[in-house]
Amino acid sequence: MIRKAFRIFSFALLLLVIFIGVGWLFENWRGSREWEKSKKRADEMGVSLDPADYALPGISEDDDLMKDPVFLAEWNREIDPPLRRIGSMKLPGLKQRGIKNLSSSRGSAFEFTQYFDENLSEEEAVMRVSEIYAPVAARLDLLANAILSKPPQNLDRNHWDFLREDAEVTRSIINQRSIANAFREQALLAIRQNRMSKALRCCLANARLSKKFSNLNLIDKLMADALLGTIEGVVWEGIRLHRWSDRDLKTLATLFPIEMDFEELEKIYHYETAFGVGMVDYSEEILQKYLSLWQDSSAEKPDKPNVKERVRHWLNYRGPAGWQDWRRSVVLKQGLDLIDAREEWAHPWKERFNNVVTIDIDTYEPSFHPLAPFQSSISGGPIRVITRHITQNRLARIGIALEQYYLKKNAYPETLDLLSLNFPIIDLTDPQKRSLQYRPTDDGYFTIWSEYEKEMSSSPRALRIRWLFSEKESFARSE
């Protein structure tokens, strides 16, 4: 009986080993086969997976902004207070809490009286803020000189280096956004001081700073658009107060791109696809980086263990070598599908590649194949954001044209057709080729918006991406 049981056990064990071995070989074969098919398709589409093909052009030492002592000191936050919005810099004499930014209606006034608890007129508040902010304004003048004296260049490490080194990319984004916000705040203050040349210079510095993102990746593209967006509030505030000259407006109009650069965007997605494939090779290293970052902070934030588990699910797969090939092929296929759908990029709400069901990793129960839940971070979502930025740029350019009309006629036109446009007619439409909406208001201002925004998000705040110029707060609320 014992011998029989032993033989049965041994036979069962042998079958199990054979089953696992065959399964192991099958997974290696299947993963390798899928990877070769995906690579062949990438080659046919001209998508390189070699990081060397995405190398950034070098820059001379004399033109390197990182070698400029003024810029480097601000970049490394060696000067107190570090550059930020006025309400976040902890300047003595200013209230730091409860400071509201520009209204989401993009036309309401920014009140400087909110920086003080006592009752002051707006003019008195502007004067007080100017005195307190003077040392920071002097720093920004020097910083603008440094930025505008250098050619556009990249300030980030290549993302491939991030996999091997540290989170310098995140630090770079935070630094540049902080500097851009500081220039924006100085420009808003300069407009109230009627120092329009200074306000324009701040806009030019931010426009140049936005061009510092020259890496071919979506993070830099989206961040460049966000930095350029800091200029829009300044433009609209100058229009609201009728402070810009015709010459200023002509200069500002050149800062906003007219149309989406599909060729640039396609190159970006080529890079992102190659980068996503490369992340598979470094998945274990990335996992360890994330876990080390959260090692000391998980007890402070209850959601951190949940985040760690998500990272484990996404990155920590162990098994046959073919599973890695399978993962690469999944990432590559999604990237190629996205690039292949290029003709749909102009209509992102219809994009077929953005209708993939997102898997909730918290409730996911794995199937036999552990790679079944793997989803690439590459998707059509960023195209929607980029298209939205294009819509906002068009609205800004029309606002500038409206103000140029006002300077000549001392009133805004009844319709946009009366504008003598010196830019393409496409500026008058949203990405779906529908007309942008414009209406003069009873008090001599105007409101302008895009119906396209209603299709971008169900969020009430998203539906208020419009510019409303009116002294009537009740009218602003009713919109």
Q: What is the DSSP string of 224-250?
A: HHHHHHHHHHHHHHHHHTT---HHHHH
Q: Which of 379, 399, 430 finishes a domain?
A: 379
- Rounded to whole angstroms, how far apart are CA atoms 38 and 276? 14
Which residues span the domain enclosing 353?
264-379
Q: What is the pLDDT of residue 301?
A: 47
Tokens for 296?
């000391």
- Same domain, yes or no: 351 and 367: yes
Pair 327, 416 in one domain: no
Partner residues linked to 447 by β-bridges: 439, 468
- CB-count burial class (<10 Å; 0-12, 13-18, 19+) for 53: exposed
- pLDDT score at 425: 66
Predicted local confidence at residue 366, as pLDDT: 42
Q: In sequence order, which residues have a C-beta less than 8 Å from that of residue 68 and are 6 or more positions away?
A: 146, 150
40 domain-assigned: no
Point out the domain boundary residue: 201, 228, 255.
Answer: 255
Q: What pLDDT score does 389 carry?
A: 83
**Whether 168 and 187 share a structural domain:** yes
Q: What is the model's pLDDT at position 136?
A: 96
d(CA 351, CA 356): 10
Would you call 98 exposed, middle or buried from its count of C-beta atoms within 10 A (0-12, 13-18, 19+)?
exposed
Q: How far apart are CA 162 and CA 293, in angstroms?
A: 14
The total domain count for the chain is 3
Contact 400, 252 (CB under 8 A): yes
Give the residue carrying structure tokens 């006002």.
Answer: 406
Co-location of 225 and 324 in the same domain: no
Map tokens 């020259």 to a residue. Answer: 214
Q: What is the pLDDT of residues 336-348, one digit of tens each?
A: 888 888 877 766 5
Judge if 84 and 178 occupy the same domain: yes
Q: Indicate whether 386 and 352 sit together in one domain.
A: no
Q: For residue 169, tell me if it sits in a domain.
A: yes
Helix (H) or strand (E) holding 467: strand 466-468
Helix, coil or strand: residue 447: strand
Residue 24 is assigned to a structural domain of this protein:
no
Q: Tell me whether residue 95 is in a domain.
A: yes
What does each of the 479 residues of the chain score in pLDDT, given as a tens digit? 777 777 777 767 777 777 777 777 887 888 889 899 999 999 999 999 988 888 777 788 888 888 899 999 999 899 999 999 888 888 988 887 767 765 545 566 778 888 898 888 989 999 999 999 999 999 999 999 999 998 887 776 566 665 544 455 567 778 888 999 999 999 999 999 999 999 999 999 999 988 865 567 787 888 888 888 899 889 988 998 899 999 999 999 999 887 777 888 888 889 888 888 887 777 666 666 666 655 544 444 444 445 555 555 555 566 777 878 887 888 888 888 888 888 777 665 444 544 444 444 445 444 444 444 444 444 567 777 788 788 888 888 888 999 999 999 999 999 888 887 666 666 787 777 778 888 888 878 888 887 766 555 444 443 333 455 544 332 232 22
Rounded CA-CA distance 438/451 in Å is 11
Rounded to an integer, what is the distance from CA 117 to the centroid of its chain?
35
According to DSSP, the β-strands at 466-468 and 446-449 are antiparallel
The residue among 324, 346, 379 that closes a domain is: 379
Rounded to 10 degrees, what is the CA torsion of 52, 264, 286, 302? 170
* 213 lies in some domain: yes
Confidence at residue 151, expressed as pLDDT on a 0 to 100 scale: 85
Residue 32 lies inside a defined structural domain of this protein: no
Question: Does one domain contain both 330 and 462?
Answer: no
Mean pLDDT, the chain, as a whole number?
Answer: 76
> What per-residue confidence (pLDDT) applies to 51?
83
The amino acid at residue 342 is R
Q: Are 144 and 183 in contact (CB under 8 A)?
A: yes
Under a CB-based contact definition with an 8 Å cutoff, are residues 446 and 418 in contact?
no
Whether residue 273 is found in the same domain as residue 389: no
* Alpha-carbon gap, residue 234 to 203, rounded angstroms: 8
User: Do 82 and 207 fall within a single domain?
Assistant: yes
Check whether residue 299 and residue 235 sit in a common domain.
Answer: no
> Rounded to the nearest 10 degrees, what angle do helices 321-340 and 262-281 cross at?
170
Asked if residue 293 belongs to a domain, the reply is: yes
2-44 confidence digits (pLDDT tens): 777 777 777 677 777 777 777 778 878 888 898 999 999 999 9
Give me the residue label for tokens 């074969």.
29
User: Which DSSP helix (H) or strand (E) runs through 24?
Assistant: helix 2-45
**Cα dist. 161→106, 286, 294, 378 in Å?**
39, 12, 21, 19
Judge whether 430 and 454 are in contact, CB under 8 Å: no
Is 43 inside any structural domain?
Answer: no
pLDDT score for 477? 28
Q: Are residues 201 and 107 in the same domain?
A: yes
Q: Note whether 251 and 270 are same-domain residues.
A: no
Radius of gyration for the chain, computed over Cα atoms and rounded to the nearest angstrom? 27
